[in-house]
Each structure stands twice: as C-alpha cells, then as structure tokens.
Amino acid sequence: MKARLSYEKGTIRIDGDVHVPFARYDSRSGCYRAFAYKYGEIVDYLERSGIDYVDDVLDPIPTPFFEAEIELRDYQQQAVERWMFGRRGCVVLPTGSGKTYVALEIIKDLSVPTLVVVPTLDLVDQWKEKLSIFGENWIGEFSGRKKELKPITVSTYDSAYINAETLGNKFALLIFDEVHHLPSESYSQIAEMNAAPYRLGLTATYERDDGRHSILPELVGGKVFELRPEDLAGKHLANYAVKRIYVPLTEEERRKYERNARIFREYVRRRGITLRSVEDFNRVVMATGYDAKAYEALRAWDEARRIAFNSKNKLVKLRELLEKHRGEKIIIFTRYNDLVYAISKLFLIPAITHRTSKDERRIILEGFRKGKFKAIVSSQVLDEGIDVPDASVGIIMSGSGSVREFIQRLGRILRPGKGKKAILYELVSRETGEVYTAKRRSRRSHGK
C-alpha cells in the first residue's frame, strides 16, 4: 500500500489505495482530498500508520540560512520558546511591546520560506523595513502594487486571499500579523488552502466580538503566550492610568436622545428581542430588509449613539484636558468623522481620517513625531496598521464596546517612556447607553 501526496488548487490530493481520516473521496478524480492546511496531520497519520508515501506537496522557494543579531526582551524570548515547542500558535502581546521581534527570531531560527500576511499596505512597508535585517534581496512583496515571491514574502490579507491557490505550497512558515482578522469567512481560506506546516499568529487582541476566534486553534494554533498591558507597565511599557469622565448631555441633546432611544427600545420590546449579544442586535439589522419599523428603529439607535458620542459638553471637557496637558503629546480618538473635523477646526489640531491622503498623513505624523504638532485627532484610522509616534495622553471622545479598539488605542500611549505615566481618558455621556458600553469594554479588557 502506497500513497502519493500532491498539491492541487488549495487541497492535498491523495492518490493510491489508502484512506486518510482527514480527507474526503472525490469521485470525479478518483482520489481523496483535504484542505491544504491538513497537510501536517496527513503526513503524521501516514507515518504513524506505517504507510509508504511519496510527498510532492511543497514546492518551496529556495531559502538561505538567515543570520542577524536580534536582541530579545525576556518575555519575547519566552514567547519564542513557547511557540517553538509545537511550531504553531498565537502570541498575544500589547501594542508597542515588540511582537514583530518575536517573529523575526522565529524566522531566523527556522530559516524556511516564509509568508507574512498583514492587513494594510502601511504594514507591508513596516514589515519589509524590519525584515531587511536579513538582507533586502531576500524580501519580497505580494500585493496590489507588485507580485514577487522571495524567501520572505510580505502580503496583504486581500492579496493572499485572492491568490490563495498560487501561494498555497510555496512556504513552510505562515505568519499572520493582527491574526484576529484571519477568522473572517473569506480570509480564513488563506490558512485553509495553504500547506505550510509552521504557523504563527500575532495580535494584541485575540478575541473577536463575533466569537469566530474559536477557529484559530484549528487554522493557526491556540494561544501559546499572552501578556496584557498591565503585565508590562512600568518596565517594558509606560506606567498608565485609565480615567473615565462622565459628561452630561445638554437639555436639547437629552430630549433628542430619549426620543430616539425610546423608538429603538419599543421596537425590540414588541419583537421580544433581548439584547445580550451581537447576534441579538443582528436580528434587528437583518429585519430591516423586510420590516420598515426595524429600519426606523435602527436609524433611531444610530442617531441616539451619535448624540451621545458627539455631545457638546464633551468638547468643553476636551478643552479643559488640552489645557491641563499643554505641552504633552496628545492623541484624540473619535468614532465619527464629523466630530474629527469639528475638533480639528475648533482647536486647530491636524486631523487624520480615511479621506486623508497618504502623503498628508505622513506629513502630519512626522510633524507629531518631531513635536511640531502637540496633538492630532483621528477616527478609527489610527487604531491599527499605522506606525504612530509616541504620545503620553490619549483622549477617547467616542468608541464602541470592542475590546480590540480599546486595547489598540491604549497601546498608542504605552511606548516606553522616561518615567512619565501615560493617561488614557474616556469621555462618556452620562445616563446614556455609552455608560454600559464603556463598563462592558473595561470588564472584558481585564478578562472579567
């Protein structure tokens, strides 16, 4: 009994008179097939079962032995050692703690063809710069800008997904930066259709609100190492404090908020919906396709949130905080672009949104880095994927219940400093749904 393994369009093809538990029989081609990510398990099963096989799956890019001096902090070395034990799994470390250096050490130790998958082109550039310690000639980019396969190739999630079949047997090590993106229904196919036996996930926030992080152990490996911001504060990251400030709505805002909140509450009560999870809320969203009342309720809910997030008294409090921290570097976070532009105009602070060109964003961030600008204001653009200069004060004007969003924003002010404590302010509109959202986010960010 002998088997032949080969790679075919994101699958492992198994020819021969042999049945493998992880595979299904394909009557059209007269062979067994399995998703490519099952490659390691298939090989392990054949060897344990004493079945002879020919392995033609991987067609790896020729790769040199990488040499570089990489100085690791103690916790980074621990993360590498934990991952190397099984050569699969996710490393969860706070923003600013040097997750990339964990990956660099692993790439050096294994010296195998490696595909690094990242969410944005900005991160493609940042990774290529870090990887250049191994020699720029060995570093390739596979994105919408260029298509080059080299021993270490950096790709966006979008390009890796579109070209999953092409990339599926070229690498032995997969690294997923911001691995919480991977479990989406489309991006998960990057991992499923790739035969690479070694897999590393990096993130500051492993859990997803939709619960789909539960498939990461299958696709990449579960958490093998985790530290939270408080674990590193004071030594490797700045000491910090989170201060929540409750701000009242104006009388006019209160009336509008209550009117819109009432419309939404009455709708969910009539429909018998108890809002305990994202899935419960999605029932309202789905109903808008056939129920005009659901659409009205959802618009009212959005308007109520907008009123709470954009409260005029928050601008009063913001002015006080800007005055209090005059001379310090401050990042202001909001959810809606209209508030970004209002703050920018009112306080003469540079603004960054998704509409800001790459060149303008670079000029603003460089000015912030050099101290030309002491404050910047942004919507969700700076939450992830952009290298933001050091700041010691963060002010959240509005946000969601997402722990990921909160941790990413906190990480923007936790770069190692000179003994100065970083402060993250949350401005919360009193007696609105924002109070519950902020408390729920805080509990979840502390693992409660």
In the chain, what percentage of residues exceed pLDDT 90? 59
Give mean pLDDT, residues 11-35.
90
**240-249+311-445, what's its fold?**
Rossmann fold (3.40.50)
Q: Where in the chain is the domain with CATH 3.40.1170.30?
A: 2-56
| 354: amino acid identity, one letter | H
Q: How many angstroms separate the CA atoms of 419 and 124, rounded?
A: 32
- What does CATH list as the number for 2-56? 3.40.1170.30
- What is the reported pLDDT for 385? 58
pLDDT band at 54 (very low <50, low <70, confident <90, very high): very high
Pair of tokens at residue 437: 């959202």
How far apart CA 419 and CA 377 sit, in angstroms, is 25
Q: Is the pLDDT of residue 448 over 50?
A: no
Give the position of tokens 């703690």.
Answer: 97
DSSP 65-85: ---------HHHHHHHHHHHH
> Minimal CA–CA distance to 285: which of 303, 270, 299?
299
Domain with CATH 3.40.50.300 in the chain: 74-227, 240-249+311-445
Provide CB contacts within 8 A for 30, sequence distance 6+: none
pLDDT at position 134 is 96
- The C-alpha atoms of residue 328 and residue 308 are separated, in whole angstroms, by 27
CATH code of the domain made up of 74-227: 3.40.50.300
Q: Are 378 and 385 in contact (CB under 8 A)?
A: no
Q: What would the pLDDT profile of 81-104 be if each residue is shown by its tens digit?
A: 999 999 999 999 988 788 999 999
**pLDDT tens sequence across 370-406:** 889 999 998 876 655 566 667 889 898 876 556 666 7
Alpha-carbon distance of 175 to 152, in angstroms, equals 10
Phi/psi for 163 (5° steps) reads -110, 30
The better pLDDT of the pair 68, 445 is held by 68
Strands (E), 57-177: 88-92, 114-118, 139-142, 152-156, 173-177
pLDDT bracket for residue 415 (50, 70, 90): low
